[in-house]
Structure 1
Amino acid sequence: METKIFKKDQLDEAVSLLAKGELVAFPTETVYGLGAIATKEKSVKGVYAAKGRPSDNPLIVTVSDENMMRKYAKEVPERAEKLIKHFWPGPLTILLYVKPGTLPEAVTGGLDTVAFRCPDDKLTHDLIKKLGYPIVGPSANTSTKPSPTTAEHVYHDLKGKISGIIDGGETRVGLESTIIDLSVDQPIVLRPGEITPEELSEVLGEKVLINTGKVSDSSIPKAPGMKYRHYAPSAPVVVVDHPEDFAKINFNDSMGVMALKDELAKINLPEKNKFNLGENLIDADHNLFGGLRYFDDKTGINQIFVQGFDQGEESLAYMNRLNKAAGGHHFNK
C-alpha cells in the first residue's frame, strides 16, 4: 500500500480516502492521530491492525465541535458543558456515557462510556467538518512506541500500512491530551496532560481526583494509556530523578542521555549520544517523544537515561509518559 503525504491544500483527497473507509493520520496540537470514521466498524478495526494495538483498548472519538459530540453522547452534564466552554477546542478529552447503538464496540471496547476530544487544529477541524462524521484518533504510531509529533514519525512507523498522512508540521504540545472521567460521581483524571487537575478543579468548582490505580489484566480500561506499556523505544529507559545523579553514572558510547540544556552540558558524551530537552519543563514536555524517537533510530545505543522532574501537577503528564517508557525503572545508586 502506498502511503501518501498530504499538504493543507490537499485536504479533499484525505477526506475522500476516509469516506471510502481508508486510514489517514492527522495532526493535532498534542500528537498525530490515526483517523478512521468512528461509525464504521471495519475501518476502526483497521486502526487496531495498523498499530498492532490490543483490541480491548478503547479509542478516543475526535469531533469538530460540541454539536457533533451530542449525537453520540447519551447526555452532556453541566460539568461537561463548563469544561467544553473553557477548554475546547484544546487538549482535553472528556469521558461520558455513550448513546446506545451509535458507535461500534470496536470504539468503546464494549463499555457504556466513550471519550470525546475536540482538538485545537484547524486542519483537523476542516477535515472532520468536510467528512461529516467523527473519527477515532489514537496516536499514529506502532503500539508501545513513542507517540509521533511530526508527519515523519508517522511515516516511519506506519508507511505501507495506512493510506495517507496529513502533514501539519510539528505539534505544539507534544504530549497527549488530559482525559477526565465525568461518568462518575467525582470527576477523575484518567490520563494527565497539559491541562492539570488544578485547572479543571478551578473551572468545575469541585475537587478533581487523579487516577493512581493499575488496570488488571482481565479488565477493560476506560481510556487509552491506562493498561498497556506505552511510549518505549527499543533500548531500555532509566529515569534520573535528581540532576546531580547524572554525575554518578559511568557513561560510555553505548548510552544515550536526555536532559535539559544546562544538565546536558555537564555530561561527557559525544553530541550524538545527547538529546536536548530544552530550557525548562514546558520544553521537556514538547520534546520528550522526539528524544525517545531520536534514540530509537540510533544504532549502538543500549540504554537511555532521561531527566525526571518533581514539580507537582505541572510535571504529572511528563512523568506519566516517562515512567511508562521506562517501565518504572529509576536510577538508584
Structure 2
Amino acid sequence: MAQFFTVHPQNPQARLLKQAAALISSGGLVAIPTDSSYAVVAHLDDKNAADGLRRLRGVDDRHHLTLLCRDLAEIGHMAHVDNRQYRLLKTGTPGPFTFILEATKEVPRRLSHPSRKTIGIRIPDNAITLALLEEVGAPLISTTLIPDGETEPLNDAEQIRERYERQLAAVIDGGACPHQATTVIDLTDDQPVVVRIGRGDPASLGIRVDAS
C-alpha cells in the first residue's frame, strides 16, 4: 500500500520529504508533483528502478526516461554540454522543458537510449520537487505519469494512489499540477529539434517551430 504525504506546495515539510527520500533510496517508486504534471521518480543507482518505471508506463527501453536535476552543474555531470547547449539550458531552466542530450558515463547504460546513448534531462520549477532532490542528494530518474494506453497525465494525488497503490511506495500530494507534459527539445543535432510541444514555449528559448 502506497504511503500518502500531503505536502505544502510552497513550503514543503522537510520531515515528510525525508521519509519519501528514504523510500526512494530503498528502491521504491514515488509519485510527485512537478511544474508540468505528476511524475513517478526512482533512485538513479537502483538497477531495477528503470524497469519498474517502464512497466508502470507500459513503454520499452527506447522510451526516454528523464533525469531530474537540481542545477546546471548537475546536468553538466550527467550530460555532455557545449556552449550552445548551455545557453539554451540556462534560459530554459528551471522550467517545463525536457532536453535530450548525450549522456556521460555517469548515467547507467540501462537508462540511456540503447542506440543513441542519449538521455532526457530537466530542472523542474517546483518547490516540492527541488526540495526532494536536495533531500536525496542526487538526480532522480522519472517519467510523466501517463497511464498505459492513455494520452493525458494524471493530475489528482488521490486518484493516483487508488490506481497505483500496489505499484508505488508513496504518493506526494502537492495539489493540482498544470496538467500538461513538458516540451521536449533534442539538442544533439546542429540545430535544436522540438520533439514534443507541451507546457514550455520554444519561442521563449529563441526556437522557431514550423507551423506546417
Same fold (TM > 0.5)? yes
Aligned twin of 2:148: 143
Using structure 2 for the length normalisation, give the TM-score. 0.87
The 1:186–1:141 alpha-carbon spacing in structure 2 relative to 1, beyond 3 Å, is closer
When Rg is computed on C-alpha atoms for both structures, the one with the higher figure is: 1
Deviations 1:147-193 (A, max 9, x none): 1122123224312111001111001x321111111110111101112
In structure 1, C-alpha distance between the alignment counterparts of 2:84 and 2:137, rounded to whole Å: 26
In structure 2, C-alpha distance between the alignment counterparts of 1:169 and 1:109, rounded to whole Å: 32
**The one of 109, 116, 132 aligned to 2:121:** 116
In structure 1, C-alpha distance between the alignment counterparts of 2:141 and 2:149, rounded to whole Å: 18
In structure 1, C-alpha distance between the alignment counterparts of 2:56 and 2:187, rounded to whole Å: 30
SS in 1 for 2:42: strand
- Alpha-carbon shift at residue 7 of structure 1 (Å): 2.2
In structure 1, C-alpha distance between the alignment counterparts of 2:125 and 2:202, rounded to whole Å: 20
Aligned twin of 2:10: none
CA contact (8 A) 1:7 1:167 kept: yes
* 1:110-189 pair list within 5 angstroms: 110=114, 111-145=116-150, 146-171=152-177, 173-189=178-194
The 1:30–1:6 alpha-carbon spacing in structure 2 relative to 1, beyond 3 Å, is same
1:32 aligns with 2:38: yes
- Alpha-carbon shift at residue 105 of structure 1 (Å): 3.1
SS in 2 for 1:71: helix
- Alpha-carbon shift at residue 138 of structure 1 (Å): 0.7
> Which consecutive unaligned segments of at least 5 residues does structure 1 have?
202-206, 211-311, 314-333
CA contact (8 A) 2:30 2:171 kept: yes
1:103 aligns with 2:107: yes
Aligned twin of 1:7: 6
Give the letter for the 2:26 counterpart: K
1:48 aligns with 2:51: no
In structure 1, C-alpha distance between the alignment counterparts of 2:118 and 2:50, rounded to whole Å: 17
CA contact (8 A) 2:95 2:200 kept: no
Higher relative contact order (CA 8 A, sep 6+): 2
SS in 1 for 2:144: coil
How many correspondences in the alignment?
A: 203
CA contact (8 A) 1:65 1:118 kept: yes
SS in 1 for 2:143: coil
Aligned twin of 1:71: 77
What fraction of aligned residue pairs are identical, expressed as a percent?
Answer: 26
- Alpha-carbon shift at residue 33 of structure 1 (Å): 0.7
In structure 2, C-alpha distance between the alignment counterparts of 1:55 and 1:114, rounded to whole Å: 12
> Which consecutive unaligned segments of at least 5 residues does structure 2 have?
8-12
**The one of 56, 59, 62 aligned to 2:65:** 59
Using structure 1 for the length normalisation, give the TM-score. 0.57
Give the letter for the 2:140 counterpart: I
Task: Identify, as 1 or 2, the structure richer in helix.
Answer: 1
Task: Provide the aligned C-alpha RMSD in A.
Answer: 1.9
Give the letter for the 2:20 counterpart: A
In structure 1, C-alpha distance between the alignment counterparts of 2:202 and 2:126, rounded to whole Å: 23
* 1:1-333 pair list within 5 angstroms: 2-8=1-7, 9=13, 10-73=16-79, 75-100=80-105, 102-110=106-114, 111-145=116-150, 146-171=152-177, 173-201=178-206, 208=208
- Alpha-carbon shift at residue 40 of structure 1 (Å): 2.2
In structure 2, C-alpha distance between the alignment counterparts of 1:168 and 1:32, rounded to whole Å: 10
Give the letter for the 1:58 counterpart: H
- Alpha-carbon shift at residue 20 of structure 1 (Å): 0.8
